[in-house]
């Protein structure tokens, strides 16, 4: 198992919600999407690649084969699915520090939701309902969400610069070059491997590398 791939962490949390209040959540999601301001905090937290909340009705779970036993579920469920940069603690903590009221609004109707403040009951709620990721692939393991955005900006700006300066005089080129650097002054961060997410994840990684013959010595 690994919830981590490169600089990204995959989190799946599935929490029960009473079928007769699920529509309230759908309404809240709908309002949130209509009014982008409600998601401003989430978007400002730049460590997030992606976050999605979905209501799965109690009769909507996939039944893929006739041999699969039919289930009778008491609850509907809310699936929260997110990819983010950094550690679990960093992510969950950023959520509760920065947007506790937003979290409470989304999870409010979920069974035994503890509220996001204080922290420990919220941590326990997420941990208890989290499904670990069995397989996780990351095409750009060195890139954070910010790096991906920056790369797109650098590319667009470089192409523009290239076409705009093709026939420029030296002075004009210098001026435009300064402008290019200034425009990109927040997009030139180095891209190297992630800091160690935790000592246990680091030890797992070292053990794997040792088994693959990439590490010398007995420390594995």
Partner 1 sequence: MTYQLDLLDIQGNVLRAYGRFRYPAARYVFFNIRDGAKGRAFVAALTRRVTTAVQWGEGPDKLPPPEWTLNVAFNYQGLKELDLPRESLIGFSPEFVAGMKDRKDILGDDGPSAPEHWDPIWQHNRETREHDVHIFVSINGLMPLPKDAKPAAVQAAVNDAKARVEAGYRWLLEQVAAQQGGVALLGGHRGDNGELLDYQDVQAVLENGVPTSKEHFGYTDGIGDPVFEGVPYDAERINGRGKQLANGQWAPLAAGEFLLGHTDEALEYPPAPSPLLLARNGTYMIYRKLHENVGTFERYLDEHGQRYPGGKELLAAKFVGRWRDNGAPIVKAWDDASKARFDADYKAADGHGKDQLLSNFTYDEDMSGGRCPFSAHIRRINPRASLEFTRDEQDPAKVCGAFSVSEGAFDTPGALANRRRVLRRGLPYGTVKDRSRDDGNHGIIIMMLNADINRQFEFVQQQWINYGNDFKAGNDKEILLGNHSQSEHFPSKAVLQVDPASDDAPYILPRLPRFVETRGGEYFFVPSLTALRMIAAGTVDPT
Residues that bind partner 1 (CB under 8 A): 7, 37, 40-41, 43-44, 46-47, 85-86, 89-90, 93-94, 96-101, 117-120, 144, 146-147, 150, 152-153, 155-157, 160, 175, 177-179, 181-192, 195-196, 199, 202
Nearer to partner 1, 131 or 156 (CB): 156
CB of 203 to partner 1, least distance (A): 9
Nearest CA to 13 out of 102, 83, 61 is that of: 83
Separation CA 55–CA 30 (nearest Å): 12
Nearest approach, Cβ of residue 164 and partner 1 (Å) = 12
Q: Coil, strand, or helix at residue 40?
A: helix
Paired tokens of 200? 């246990």
Q: How far is the CB of 104 from partner 1 (least distance, A)?
A: 10
Neighbours of 102 (CB within 10 A): 17
User: Is 118 strand, coil or helix?
Assistant: coil
With H, G, I as helix, E, B as strand and everything else as coil, classify residue 189: coil
Pull the structure tokens for residue 101.
Answer: 């009221």
CB of 80: closest distance to partner 1 in angstroms? 19
Q: Which is nearer to partner 1, 81 or 93 (CB)?
A: 93
- 116 token code pair: 């996001």
Comparison of 10 and 99: residue with beta carbon closer to partner 1: 99
Output 24 or 42, the one with its CB closest to partner 1.
42
């Amino acid at each position: 198992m690994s919830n981590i791939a490169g600089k990204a962490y995959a989190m799946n949390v599935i929490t029960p919600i009473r079928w007769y209040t699920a529509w309230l959540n759908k309404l809240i999601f709908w309002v949130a999407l209509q009014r982008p301001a409600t998601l401003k905090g989430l978007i400002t937290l730049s460590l997030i690649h992606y976050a999605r909340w979905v209501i799965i009705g109690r009769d909507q779970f996939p039944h893929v084969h006739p041999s699969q036993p039919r289930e009778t579920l008491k609850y509907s469920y809310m699936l929260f699915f997110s990819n983010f940069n950094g550690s679990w603690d960093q992510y969950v903590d950023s959520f509760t520090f920065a947007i506790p009221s937003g979290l409470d609004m989304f999870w409010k109707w979920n069974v035994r939701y503890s509220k996001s403040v204080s922290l420990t009951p919220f941590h326990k709620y997420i941990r208890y309902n989290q499904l670990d990721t069995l397989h996780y692939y990351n095409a750009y393991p060195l890139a954070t969400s910010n790096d991906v955005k920056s790369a797109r900006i650098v590319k667009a700006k470089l192409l523009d610069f290239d076409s705009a300066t093709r026939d420029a005089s030296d002075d004009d080129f210098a001026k435009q070059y300064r402008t290019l650097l200034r425009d990109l002054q927040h997009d030139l961060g180095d891209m190297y491997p992630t800091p160690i997410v935790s000592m246990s994840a680091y030890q797992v990684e070292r053990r794997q590398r040792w088994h693959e013959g990439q590490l010398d010595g007995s420390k594995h």
